Amino acid sequence: NAGVTQTPKFQVLKTGQSMTLQCAQDMNHNSMYWYRQDPGMGLRLIYYSASEGTTDKGEVPNGYNVSRLNKREFSLRLESAAPSQTSVYFCASRRGGAGTDTQYFGPGTRLTVL
Amino acid sequence: KQEVTQIPAALSVPEGENLVLNCSFTDSAIYNLQWFRQDPGKGLTSLLLIQSSQREQTSGRLNASLDKSSGRSTLYIAASQPGDSATYLCAANSGGGADGLTFGKGTHLIIQP
């Protein structure tokens, strides 16, 4: 049981390049989330998907797009990377329901934009 | 907008001590309050989840309490060990449209052997 997996683990981009961060969960969870973690800012929600086929903006969605490819996979895309997007990105999943259960987090992707 | 504050930001204590980490939140309309542990360079691991109707939850040497009316939660760690060294994060689940967690900035805990 792998839980939540993320690829890649590390990435360095130049300003203006694009990339997609991949996330998959094998727990048959309905809800999935993307967060970013910055020093002094804590974790902030970028986008979330309450169920397969739906996505919604979180606190800091600008500069990102997401795709809920199927129930297992939720990807985050940076179309034109900026230095301000240098961060650690975490994917999480939750079984679902009225917020009664915990979120399970992946190991993170460390992204540097030069 | 929900805001979560954790005090202290950092704490260093000798092994064996009992300690308390504090978390406060501004909006008491929460579904639950969660405590996570984060080791350096790693993801988050859930420690305890307290539903809004509960007052406390216990897991081994950890005990978390919740006082919604005052907007406070505490994480009590008994008989601390060097392996407890990590950053501890609390997060409020306010539900609603975002269905995401609002995190505090964490308490960086060091247990001295």
**pLDDT tens digits, one per residue of A60-109:** 999 999 999 899 999 999 999 999 999 999 999 988 765 567 889 999 99
The first and second tokens of residue B108, run together, are 């960086």
Q: Looking at the complex, report in whole angstroms how far the Cα of residue A112 sits from the nearest Cα belonging to chain B.
A: 15
B99 φ, ψ (degrees, to nearest 5): 50, 30
Per-residue pLDDT of chain B (113 residues; tens, 9 = 90+): 889 999 999 999 999 999 999 999 999 989 899 999 999 988 999 999 999 899 999 999 999 999 999 999 999 999 999 999 999 999 998 876 556 689 999 999 999 99
CB A25 within 8 A of CB A93: yes
The band of A1, judged by pLDDT with boundaries at 50, 70 and 90, is low
Chain A residues whose C-beta is within 8 A of a chain B C-beta are 4, 31, 33, 35, 40-45, 48, 50, 56, 58-59, 90, 92, 98-108
Helix (H, G, I), strand (E, B) or coil at A64: strand
The band of A41, judged by pLDDT with boundaries at 50, 70 and 90, is confident
According to the model, what pLDDT value does residue A101 have?
A: 79
| CB atoms B98 and A106 under 8 Å | no
CB A6 within 8 A of CB A105: no
The band of A50, judged by pLDDT with boundaries at 50, 70 and 90, is confident
B/e letters for B30-56, b = 16+ CB within 10 Å, e = fewer, are bbbbbbbbbeeeebbebbbbbbbeeee
Burial of A14 (C-beta count, 10 Å sphere; 0-12/13-18/19+)? exposed
- Give the CA distances from residue B20 to residues A24, A99, B40, B105, in Å, rounded to whole numbers and listed in that order: 35, 26, 21, 16
